[in-house]
C-alpha cells in the first residue's frame, strides 16, 4: 500500500482509539455519579433509622413512627433503583472498556502493519539497488 493509504488507516485507528477512551471516561463518570447518589441515600437511610430508634425511646405518636417508617421504606426503594442503575453503569463501563481494548489492539495491529510494510519497502529498494549495482558491475566487466 502507499504511504498515504497507511497514514489514513493509522488516523482512523487513532480516531477510534480516542473515541473509545472518551466513552470509557464518560461511562466511568456516570458510574461515579450513581455511586455518589447511592452513598447519599445510604447516609440518609442510616440517619432516619437512627432518628426512628431515638423516637421510639421517647413517647411519640403512632403517626410519627409510621411517617418515619414510610420515609425509610421510600429511601430503601430508591436505593434499590440506584443499585439497579449502578449495575447498568458498571455493565456499560465494562462494555466500553472492552471496546477500548479492541481499539488498542487495532491501533497496535495498524502500527505493526505499517512497520512491516516500511520494512518490506526498504528491503525491496535495497534488492533493486543491489541489482542495479550488479548490472553496472557486469556491464563494466563486459566492456573491459
Q: At what angle do helices 62-143 and 3-57 cross, to 10 degrees?
A: 160
Given this model, what pLDDT does residue 3 score? Answer: 80
Max CA distance (Å), the chain:
124
Cα separation, 143 vs 133, in Å, equals 15
For the stretch 79-124, pLDDT in tens is 999 999 999 999 999 999 999 999 999 999 999 999 999 999 999 9
Contact 136, 20 (CB under 8 A): no
Kindly list the structural domains of the chain, giving each domain's residue range(s) and its CATH number in brackets, ordered by start: 3-105 (1.10.287)
Residue 60 pLDDT > 70: no
pTM of the model: 0.74
Q: Where are the alpha helices (DSSP H) in the chain?
A: 3-57, 62-143
Residue 92, SS3 per DSSP: helix
- Cell numbers placing 1: 500500500
Amino acid at each position: 500500500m502507499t504511504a498515504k493509504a497507511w497514514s489514513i488507516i493509522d488516523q482512523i485507528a487513532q480516531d477510534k482509539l480516542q473515541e473509545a477512551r472518551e466513552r470509557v471516561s464518560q461511562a466511568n463518570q456516570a458510574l461515579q455519579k450513581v455511586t455518589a447518589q447511592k452513598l447519599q441515600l445510604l447516609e440518609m437511610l442510616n440517619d432516619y433509622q437512627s432518628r426512628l430508634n431515638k423516637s421510639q425511646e421517647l413517647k411519640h405518636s403512632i403517626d410519627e413512627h409510621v411517617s418515619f417508617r414510610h420515609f425509610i421504606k421510600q429511601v430503601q426503594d430508591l436505593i434499590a433503583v440506584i443499585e439497579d442503575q449502578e449495575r447498568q453503569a458498571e455493565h456499560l463501563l465494562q462494555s466500553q472498556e472492552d471496546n477500548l481494548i479492541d481499539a488498542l489492539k487495532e491501533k497496535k495491529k495498524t502500527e505493526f502493519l505499517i512497520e512491516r510494510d516500511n520494512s518490506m519497502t526498504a528491503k525491496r529498494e535495497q534488492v533493486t539497488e543491489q541489482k542495479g549495482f550488479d548490472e553496472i558491475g557486469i556491464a563494466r566487466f563486459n566492456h573491459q
